[in-house]
Amino acid sequence: MADYQPPFQITDAVINNVAEISELMGRLSVTSGLSANPTLRRENRIRTIHGSLAIEQNTLSLEQVTAVLNGKTIIAPLKDIAEVKNAYEIYEHLDSLNPYSAEDLLAAHGVMMRGLVEEAGMFRTRPVGVVDQKGNILHFGTLPDYVPDSVMKLLDWAEHSTVHMLIRSCVFHYEFELIHPFADGNGRMGRLWHTLMLSKWNPMLAWLPVESIIHDRQQEYYDAINACNYAGESTVFVEFMLASIKASLMDALAVSDGTSDGTNDGMSDGMSDAPAKPDKEAGRWNLIKAYLNDHSFIMNADVRALCDVSAATANRILAGFVHDGKLEKCRENSWWVYKLKG
């Protein structure tokens, strides 16, 4: 297995992102105690689960995910509720997992997909085509007979490589998706294992909701995978994931510094938290309404740009206007969007 080397390049963009991430982590560790604040840990864990499952077409909103994990009853597809409970259970046991163990990988998949697929906790036994959210085939996974050996080689490389962990974990994530070792749940398992590897390197990263950033940039996520499939190596995906980690750290630092009001984000009991000041809320609504006069819908990324806020705060703003009856949340080509109500 020592000869196995997944192909990728360490570009200037990769080096710059690693340096900036390291600087942001240093600042965050001093200012926030991200891994020591139980409330913030839980909120970020919920964002992680919501973001990762939403990428896989889970229909539950952030507020509904919060309600489920608070033991409340909601009206939603049972499969979506089971996905949330399973994901929360395995993320809560992250500390006990060995990121380089095939046995732990299979056990984690068994929990993540329990009651959802027949082959939970097993490598797949049938060929599979990998598709994006539009149903376009990106590539075909490794043939079933070769999956166990391919996974073992990848885990061995990940454990013994001397490449910086920030880069190594991104390469692992792409190669894992390329192999596509399971019948279902590969995306959420790849993101889980990426977080697991980073958390063993720096425990603070166990609580960073990178998945919520990926959800906001979902098309870019699939485009990066597709570009790497064509190129035959993972550099573009590594650059994308490092940029996403950096963005998540910047959001966390903004909340810590008090420059973002995206705390709580409607997660206390499934509804929005204390409202913004009336003048600020009115100003944001005027911006959103003006945007919707020229566009049929608005998305999280649009609110971030209009209001100069983090992704977390944009989620809270949109949820608040949905709760007030000003907006309605709906699907548009597999994306969550917001439209003027009525």
Contacts with 155 (C-beta within 8 Å, 6 or more apart), sequence order: 99, 100, 101, 102, 105
Distance CA 306, CA 314 (A): 10
Q: What is the mean pLDDT of residues 216-233?
A: 89
Q: Are 62 and 265 in contact (CB under 8 A)?
A: yes
Q: Residue 37: its pLDDT value, please?
A: 64
Phi, psi (deg, nearest 5) at residue 131: -120, 160
Residue position matching structure tokens 């839980």: 42
Contacts with 280 (C-beta within 8 Å, 6 or more apart), sequence order: none
Among residues 171, 147, 145, which one has the least CA distance to residue 158?
171
Q: What is the mean pLDDT of residues 139-146?
A: 90
Between 324 and 18, name the one with better pLDDT: 18
Encoded amino acid at 105, one letter? L
pLDDT over 70 at 67, yes or no: yes
Percent of the chain with pLDDT over 90: 47
Distance CA 271, CA 261 (A): 16
Q: What is the mean pLDDT of residues 52-62?
A: 87
Residue position matching structure tokens 């997660």: 267
- pTM value is 0.74
Q: Are 289 and 86 in contact (CB under 8 A)?
A: no
Residue position matching structure tokens 């979902």: 218
pLDDT over 60 at 26, yes or no: yes
Summarize pLDDT for 225-284 with one digit per residue, the tens. 989 998 999 999 999 999 999 988 888 777 665 544 444 444 444 433 444 556 788 889
Q: What is the mean pLDDT of residues 27-37?
A: 66
Q: What is the mean pLDDT of residues 304-317?
A: 77
Domains and CATH numbers, the chain: 12-257 (1.10.3290.10), 278-340 (1.10.10.10)
Distance CA 83, CA 77 (A): 10
332: part of which helix (H) or strand (E)? Answer: strand 327-332
Per-residue pLDDT band at 105 (split at 50, 70, 90): very high
Q: Residue 231: its pLDDT value, please?
A: 93
pLDDT over 70 at 31, yes or no: no
Phi, psi (deg, nearest 5) at residue 198: -65, -35
131: part of which helix (H) or strand (E)? Answer: strand 129-131
Q: What is the DSSP letter of 264?
A: S
Tell me how long the chain is: 342
Distance CA 175, CA 185 (A): 15
